[in-house]
Amino acid sequence: MTEFATLALEPAVLDALATLGYSSMTPIQAASLPAILDGKDVLAQAPTGSGKTVAFGLGLVARLDPAVVAVQGLVLCPTRELADQVSREIRRLASFVPNVKLLTLCGGIPLRPQLASLVHPPHVVVGTPGRIQELIDQGALSLECVRVLVLDEVDRMLDIGFREDIRRILDMCPPPGPPVLPNADGTATNRQTIFVSATLSPEIERLARKYMHEPEKIQTSSGSLTVSLVKQYHLAVQPWDKRRLLAHLLTHEEPELTIVFCRLKKTVDDLCRILAEKGIEAHAMHGDMSQGKRNQTMTALRGGKLAVLIASDLASRGIDVEGISHVINYDLPDDPDLYVHRIGRTARAGRGGVAWSLVTPEQGELLTKIEILINAEVPKLEYPDFKPSEKPAHWRDQGARPEGGLRREDVGGQVPPPPPQEPKVNRVEASSRLELPDQAKVDTSKFPGGIVPTKLPPKRMFGRMKSGR
């Protein structure tokens, strides 16, 4: 089943989909939409950029009743950028339903205008957990009429940082269950629950099922969680050469539109400054920026006015822009799942893309974990035009190489073994093994009055001290 016309949709809906440019379904849409349109709970896993938003968005819009002035659909996202992206897509899908109101409610912008917009409740709310919970606490947002609940990027939504907020919000919604007719006052008896993500660990899946009613799990990853159209490579580099190599890639390869991912916000700002000094215009995107500045950067990115975007992992869940040709992992992520989301920013809508990862010698183990997750090798890219430099005299290593860190001999060349570890010594036990100094070799000037002890004290506390009680 590949055509939307094969679904049980109203002719007007099919005409609207055709007008929007939707005719053939992607694999995840074809696999999940029949269950979603039947009102079943769905746990969907598919690569980034495979059309999951259209799948749950179409199911959500199909269950709206414009005559009921209340929040009937709730979509929770981990970032503001992703919430904006989802809102745009659902607005397009809802364009064929008259009088549907949708609000995007996220933190980082003033609360007062959002409170005013909720005086007349919307039919659909898309937002981030923190702001949604804040509006519920203010008494401005009611979720008792929610018919469809969606968690986008559920692996991040049920991560430790979000878990308690999500539980509280879900408790405010009707319970999960099979679809039934709404109550006379418009409140929902049960809700349909749809969880989607590109990655899904067994732990997160077990947790997700606790919030669902007999969900159907639909997975269209075809044995690999990564986008097959992305050409992936790693470049071996010493940590002090990473900045030089990044600038070299950006000036010699001339990619059309590149996103560079870093672990730390400080690294993002530092790279923007250093690239600017080298004549490379780069723009930053991270959580410490104001919402206005982030919106301005995203608008320029979508308008094709940026060539290089340096981003923290915050942005890896909210950038859906056509024309991204390259993704560069300046820092490999500690969580291999983040790698999948990062490289999914390119190769959108069936187009090709390239992902480069800068791998230092101590990061070999991380690269191996990524390869195990995606079930594919990330081959080494030889780059003879780039000449490595000697270790600077002022360079300070960022911690010792972890045990087993050397992935294979070709990552960064030969790496010396870690220095031997000093055995741990219990101070109390060491004090019980004191030895008298050699009378013949001792320096009497180091002892008070030149008197060298000839025997140990008769009584010692060995770390114990009597209290005054």
Share of the chain above pLDDT 70, in %: 80
Q: 9 and 61, same structural domain?
A: yes
Of 107-121, 233-247, 249-263, 354-368, the range with the lowest mean pLDDT is 249-263
Query: Is residue 430 one of the residues assigned to a domain?
Result: no
Residue 409, pLDDT score: 38
For the segment 89-107, the average pLDDT, to the nearest whole number, is 90
Residue 318, pLDDT score: 59
Identify the CATH number of the domain in which residue 181 sits.
3.40.50.300
- Partnered with residue 42 across adjacent β-strands are 194, 216
Q: 259 and 310, same structural domain?
A: yes
Tokens standing for residue 432: 């019980």
User: 78 by DSSP, 3-state: which?
Assistant: coil
pLDDT band for position 401 (50/70/90)?
very low
Where is pLDDT greater, at 407 or 179? 179
pLDDT band for position 402 (50/70/90)?
very low
Count of domains for the chain: 2
User: 149 by DSSP, 3-state: which?
Assistant: strand
Q: What residue numbers bound the domain in which 188 lies? A: 4-219
For 70, 96, 120, 138, 240, the CA distances from 169, given in Å and listed in that order, are 16, 29, 21, 14, 46
Q: 248 and 211, same structural domain?
A: no
Residue 114, pLDDT score: 94
Where is pLDDT greater, at 426 or 178? 178
Q: Which of 219, 242, 276 is the last residue of a domain?
A: 219
Where is pLDDT greater, at 49 or 103? 103
Residue 222, pLDDT score: 45
Residue 332, pLDDT score: 92
Tokens standing for residue 343: 């490289």
d(CA 146, CA 169): 11
Query: Is residue 246 one of the residues assigned to a domain?
Result: yes
Residue 140, pLDDT score: 94
Query: Is residue 415 one of the residues assigned to a domain?
Result: no
Residue 116 phi, psi (nearest 5): -65, -35
Residue 314, pLDDT score: 67
Reported residue count of the chain is: 469
d(CA 18, CA 14): 6
Q: 201 and 66, same structural domain?
A: yes
Q: 212 and 336, same structural domain?
A: no
Query: Is residue 397 one of the residues assigned to a domain?
Result: no
Element (H, E) at 359: strand 353-359
What global pTM score does this model have? 0.66
Q: 268 and 135, same structural domain?
A: no
pLDDT exceeds cutoff 70 at 368: yes
Query: Is residue 224 one of the residues assigned to a domain?
Result: no
Query: Which class for 379: exposed (0-12), middle (13-18), buried (19 or more C-beta within 10 A)?
Result: exposed
Q: 81 and 35, same structural domain?
A: yes
Q: 234 and 193, same structural domain?
A: no
User: 231 by DSSP, 3-state: which?
Assistant: strand
Q: pLDDT tens digits, residue range 39-55? A: 999 999 887 777 889 99
Where is pLDDT greater, at 358 or 315? 358
Q: 190 and 253, same structural domain?
A: no
d(CA 362, CA 329): 15
Residue 376, pLDDT score: 82
d(CA 44, CA 153): 10
For the segment 377-393, the average pLDDT, to the nearest whole number, is 86
- Ramachandran quadrant class, 277 (left: phi over 0; alpha: psi -120 to 50; beta: rest): alpha
* CA 79 to chain CA centroid, nearest Å: 9
Q: 234 and 211, same structural domain?
A: no
pLDDT exceeds cutoff 80 at 279: yes
Residues ≥6 apart with Cβ < 8 Å to 457? none
Q: 95 and 178, same structural domain?
A: yes
Indicate the average pLDDT of the chain.
Answer: 81
pLDDT exceeds cutoff 60 at 105: yes
d(CA 238, CA 324): 27
Query: Is residue 103 one of the residues assigned to a domain?
Result: yes
Of 20-34, 125-139, 284-298, 421-435, the range with the lowest mean pLDDT is 421-435
Q: pLDDT tens digits, residue range 406-420? A: 344 344 444 445 555
Where is pLDDT greater, at 262 or 438? 262
Q: pLDDT tens digits, residue range 324-359? A: 888 999 999 888 888 887 887 776 655 678 999 999
Residue 420, pLDDT score: 57
Q: Which of 195, 219, 243 is the last residue of a domain?
A: 219
Tokens standing for residue 78: 């981990």
Element (H, E) at 196: strand 192-197
Residue 384, pLDDT score: 82
Residue 47, pLDDT score: 75
pLDDT exceeds cutoff 80 at 215: yes
Q: 238 and 192, same structural domain?
A: no
pLDDT band for position 243 (50/70/90)?
very high
With CA atoms as reference, report the closest residue to 151 among 96, 38, 74. Answer: 74
Query: Is residue 26 one of the residues assigned to a domain?
Result: yes
pLDDT exceeds cutoff 50 at 223: no
Of 228-237, 333-342, 351-360, 425-434, the range with the lowest mean pLDDT is 425-434
